Amino acid sequence: MEELVVESPFTEQEICVKCGLCCDGTLFSHAVLQKGERGNLPEKIEQQYGKEGESEFFTLPCAYFEGKCTIYNQKKAVVCSAFRCQLLKTFANGDVSQKDAIKIVTDALKFKAEIYQFYKQTFGVEFKLSFRELLAELNKMSPDTDPPNVPVELLRMKCNIYQTLLIKNFKSIKTFESMIESTVE
Ligand code: SF4
Ligand code: SF4
């Protein structure tokens, strides 16, 4: 979560309320804070505060996210009200209808649920953490086992496809193009 613009109109909020991918640790591992926000934030966001160099942030998933934001009508971090992903910008430009934007969100949530289900089938336990934490766990598993660990490789592949879809639909066009270029080279 890094880009800041004005408060979202109601039609955009109707899309967000079905989504939450920017709050639940699927798209991002942290959300950027403005200078001086620390000390005036909701308690759980204060607890998730971090700093790297000059950059201040709180880690995601957000503790206030329970299927949707549970402090929606209360004071939050600036980024919470101001952030708009690429999907919202595409919708605002009129390049996607609200119905299609909601379908993109629904499909993204469904795909993620399938990945978690596959994890459960593979390892016999539920993965209860966020998608970005799942990626971190997968990164810790060696890809060079002999013979290859087929279920793990399949899970890795599904996650890679999912990440591509997330970048295509929710991140900037520039990010998607740079990813495609680096794949083609
Ligand atoms: S990822 Fe986009 S559509 Fe989803 S909640 Fe965040 S801003 Fe809204
Ligand atoms: S406070 Fe609400 S909008 Fe902000 S990150 Fe947490 S769940 Fe998302």
54-108 confidence digits (pLDDT tens): 999 999 999 999 999 999 889 999 999 999 999 999 999 999 999 999 999 999 9
**For residue 4, pLDDT beyond 60:** no
- Find the 71 Cα to ligand 1 centroid distance in Å: 16
Domain extents in the chain: 10-89, 94-184
Predicted local confidence at residue 178, as pLDDT: 57
Token pair for 128: 């209860």
Q: What is the mean pLDDT of residues 117-140?
A: 94
Predicted local confidence at residue 149, as pLDDT: 79
Q: Is the CB of 19 under 6 A from ligand 1?
A: yes
Predicted local confidence at residue 21, as pLDDT: 97
- Asked if 62 and 22 touch (Cβ cutoff 8 Å), the reply is no
Predicted local confidence at residue 142, as pLDDT: 72
Nearest C-alpha neighbor of 130 from the set 13, 48, 27, 8:
27
132-181 confidence digits (pLDDT tens): 999 999 988 876 776 667 889 999 999 999 999 999 999 876 655 555 45
Predicted local confidence at residue 8, as pLDDT: 67
Cα distance between the two ends of the chain = 28
Q: Is the CB of 65 under 6 A from ligand 1?
A: no
- Find the 62 Cα to ligand 2 centroid distance in Å: 6
100-116 confidence digits (pLDDT tens): 999 999 999 999 999 99
Q: What angle do CA 170, 176, 181 make, to 5 degrees?
A: 170
Which ligand sits nearest to residue 80's alpha carbon?
2
- Closest C-alpha to ligand 1, atom 2: 85
Which of 17-31, 44-58, 136-150 is the least confident region?
136-150
Predicted local confidence at residue 146, as pLDDT: 65
